Amino acid sequence: MEFISDLQGTPPSPSPLSGRDCLTLAEFDPAEIALILDEALRIKTLQRSRIPYRPLRGRTLAMVFQKPSNRTRVSFEVGMYQLGGHALHLSPEEIQIGKRETPSDTGRVLARYIDAIMVRTFDHGDLEELAGAADVPVINGLSDAHHPCQALADLLTVREEFGGLEGEKIAYVGDGNNVAHSLAIACALTGAGLTIAHPEGHGPDEEVVRLAGKLGAAPRLTEDPSEAANGARVIYTDVWASMGQEAEAAERKEKFAPYQVDEELMGLAAEDAIFLHCLPAHRGEEVTAGVIDGPRSRVFDQAENRLHAQKALLYLLLG
């Protein structure tokens, strides 16, 4: 038997999430999110103990990338390998979503070869169309609107640090972007309290805020970073210009300058507060080198947790 049951409990079999997509995390209820995080911790413990665990032998994941990536590409590819399966990297040279063929034809064709599809793309609508046509699980590896796998790793990191999520005070300071959206949905589903501090005109999408409200609790919104940071246990930021917004980078730099996470802002947070960033980071812009390379930073644990969270997700969607 490959799974050592007295180490970390028994994996659910058959998986209650079998065959499902993960496009925003809103597909899941709180118990299902908790299950993914529990599985991630179990799989992490197995890996740390060097216990082989290969439930996805013979299964294949297609990874469709329309934007660059370090963490997402490597963690999905390595994760699939560690689970006994195989991952296939498809760059824009091979697949141009919506250009060479429709997103739905791409999804239907891939599903004939492949057991699950991970997609990193621009338009979230393309992803929905592809997922609607593919009768295998589709995982969002980042779209302009959502980054659900990131949020799973974020919450895993917070849970490991503080032992739980319910009532934890998280401050996201910066652009109300894909990372902020997924964090809002994840917090709503886990009872963590999120405040988003953003410059005027750069708040999260109203629809996502409403959705988070329906799922549990809407994030608090403010334009004052100090108000968000005050007493928070987690201070989180992301780049000011996301992939695809390069032309706005200079203008945004000026507008977002008061939202830099620096030592002073961290000083307003709880004494044991941690700093998170999805990475890649721009030192001297959204965060100072002192903070991201300082003792409160958990950004590399957070990056590692992408691997464990996604292995859990793959196992549960393909189980």
Catalytic residue among 71, 120, 124, 277: 120
Catalytic residue among 146, 159, 202, 306: 306
Catalytic residue list contains 277: no
Q: How far apart are CA 189 and CA 13, in angstroms?
A: 23
Nearest residue to 224 via CA among 178, 262, 271, 265: 265
Catalytic residue among 154, 187, 278, 298: 278
* Residue 70 binding partner per list ligand NVA, ligand CP, none, with a CB distance cut-off of 5 to 8 Å that depends on partner kind: ligand CP
> Taking CB under 6 A as the rule, which mask of x and - marks residues 119-138 in contact with ligand NVA?
--------------------
303 backbone φψ class: left, alpha, beta (φ>0; ψ -120 to 50): alpha
Binding-site member from 80, 179, 229, 269 for ligand NVA (CB under 6 A): 179
Cβ 71 to ligand NVA, closest distance in Å?
7
How many residues interact with ligand CP (rule CB under 6 A)?
A: 9
Decide if residue 245 touches ligand CP (CB under 6 A): no
Decide if residue 243 touches ligand NVA (CB under 6 A): yes
- For the record, the structure tokens of 77 come out as 């590819």
**Per residue, what are the HEC states of 63-89?**
EEECCCCCHHHHHHHHHHHHCCCEEEE
* Residue 178 binding partner per list ligand CP, ligand NVA, none, with a CB distance cut-off of 5 to 8 Å that depends on partner kind: ligand NVA
Q: How far apart are CA 197 and CA 220, in angstroms?
A: 8
* Residue 60 binding partner per list ligand NVA, ligand CP, none, with a CB distance cut-off of 5 to 8 Å that depends on partner kind: none
Decide if residue 242 touches ligand NVA (CB under 6 A): yes
Nearest residue to 63 via CA among 103, 134, 123, 119: 119
Decide if residue 71 touches ligand CP (CB under 6 A): yes
Q: What is the rounded end-to-end Cα distance, in angstroms, of the chain?
A: 17
Catalytic residue list contains 82: no
How many residues interact with ligand NVA (rule CB under 6 A)?
A: 9
- Residue 159 exposed, middle or buried by CB count within 10 Å (0-12, 13-18, 19+): buried
User: Angle, nearest 10°, between helix axes 299-318 and 30-48?
Assistant: 110
- Name beta bridge partners: 274: 234
DSSP states of 111-127 as a string?
Answer: HHH-SEEEEE-S-HHHH
- Name beta bridge partners: 40: none
Decide if residue 72 touches ligand CP (CB under 6 A): yes
Cβ 236 to ligand NVA, closest distance in Å?
12
Cβ 29 to ligand NVA, closest distance in Å?
26
Decide if residue 278 touches ligand NVA (CB under 6 A): yes
Q: Which residues bind ligand CP (CB under 6 A)?
A: 69-72, 142, 150, 278-280
Q: Which residues bind ligand NVA (CB under 6 A)?
A: 142, 177-179, 238-239, 242-243, 278
